[in-house]
Amino acid sequence: MYEANSQRYEQMQYRPVGNSGLHLPAISLGLWHNFGSVDPLSNQKALLEYAFDHGITHFDLANNYGPVPGSAESNFGHVLHEELAAYRDEMIISTKAGYLMWPGPYGEWGSRKHLIASLDQSLKRLGLDYVDIFYHHRPDDNTPLVETAEALAQIVRSGKALYIGISNYKPEATVKMSALLHDLHVPFIIQQQRYNMFNREPETGLFQALADEHLGAITFSPLAQGLLSDRYLNGIPKDSRAARPSSPFLHEDKVEATLSTVKKLNALAQNRGQSLAAMALAWNLRQPVVASVLVGASRTSQLADNLEALKHRKHPITDRLENQ
């Protein structure tokens, strides 16, 4: 039976989420990849236990994570109940709804029907009565924002989620949703958004909007699908994401176009005495509004490398990186 490392909380920084009472670990584990039905359960168990042993208390899921869709929630639920159940109250477990999950008009987007039905399915797969954070995964221009807000309010009042978040919303829509949920007395606390050295869009308005609304941010894809690591410094490995012909997020042309910049960034990281991946995470964490950075991992050594970011979060070179 698993017994957690007694020193786990001494190894992590915990940051407030906006003006809420919730704190998240500076580094959270996302289960988008490597936790599906096609992935060895033994490796999933090793990753989850290693993360928790090192103070990573937040595990981020969505209804469609897999493959197959839903299997990441099922696998996480299995490991949770077999190994980690005694520590449930020490964990923040989040999930989302909004992307395509089942056929027909109710299987995606932001209607009351989809959001409530999807969360009910997620809770069954997870084997839980509630999640700590429930997100609307993407905005829906065809559903009135007030309907989505009222569905999220109903979810909280029913006890199925403690806090509410949104993901991939633009600044203006974020402010509108914040006003609606405030009027409904919903604990809306966080926005999840892509952010890395190659994608700095949140700096053009979103981060300021979150600060003005007293909300926190959690960033995903901080390593730009592996570009901001040593994965592609010496070419494209055959087993890498960029080598897959069907990969929608990373391909050979993108790797080649950024390689010169990546090599320069890697040299800066070496001058800091850390890996490029660790420096990229520290770069995310320099933003005051960012409560946590989501990382993925296929092996525990990657998590170990990512955790090194906490040792070098503040450094003069970071100021130079902001202008790269």
pLDDT band of 232, cuts 50, 70, 90: confident
Give me the residue label for tokens 């807000």: 149
184-196: burial string, b at 16+ Cβ within 10 Å, e else: bebbbbbbbbbbb
Q: What does the DSSP assignment read for 10-74? A: GG--EEE-TTSS-EEESEEEE-SSS-STTS-HHHHHHHHHHHHHTT--EEE--TT-TTTTTHHHH
- Checking if the pLDDT of 287 tops 90, the result is yes
Question: Could you report the per-residue pLDDT of 173-200, keeping only the tens digit for each?
Answer: 999 999 999 999 999 999 999 999 999 9
Query: How far is 252 from 261, CA to CA, in rounded Å?
Result: 15
In this prediction, residue 316 carries a pLDDT of 38
- The three-class DSSP label of residue 159 is coil
Question: Could you report the per-residue pLDDT of 57-99, keeping only the tens digit for each?
Answer: 999 999 999 999 999 999 999 999 999 999 999 999 999 999 9
Question: Could you report the per-residue pLDDT of 18-60, keeping only the tens digit for each?
Answer: 999 999 999 999 999 999 999 999 999 999 999 999 999 999 9
pTM of the model: 0.92
Residue closest to 137 by CA, chosen among 180, 172, 105, 94 = 94
In this prediction, residue 319 carries a pLDDT of 43
Pairing relation of β-strands 131-136 and 216-220? unpaired
- The three-class DSSP label of residue 94 is strand
- What is the 8-class DSSP label of residue 199? B
In this prediction, residue 257 carries a pLDDT of 74
In this prediction, residue 251 carries a pLDDT of 53
- Checking if the pLDDT of 216 tops 70, the result is yes
Residue closest to 224 by CA, chosen among 206, 256, 205, 199 = 199
> Which tokens in the block code for residue 118?
């999807």
Which domains are seen in the chain, by residue range? 8-224+275-321 (3.20.20.100)
- Checking if the pLDDT of 133 tops 70, the result is yes
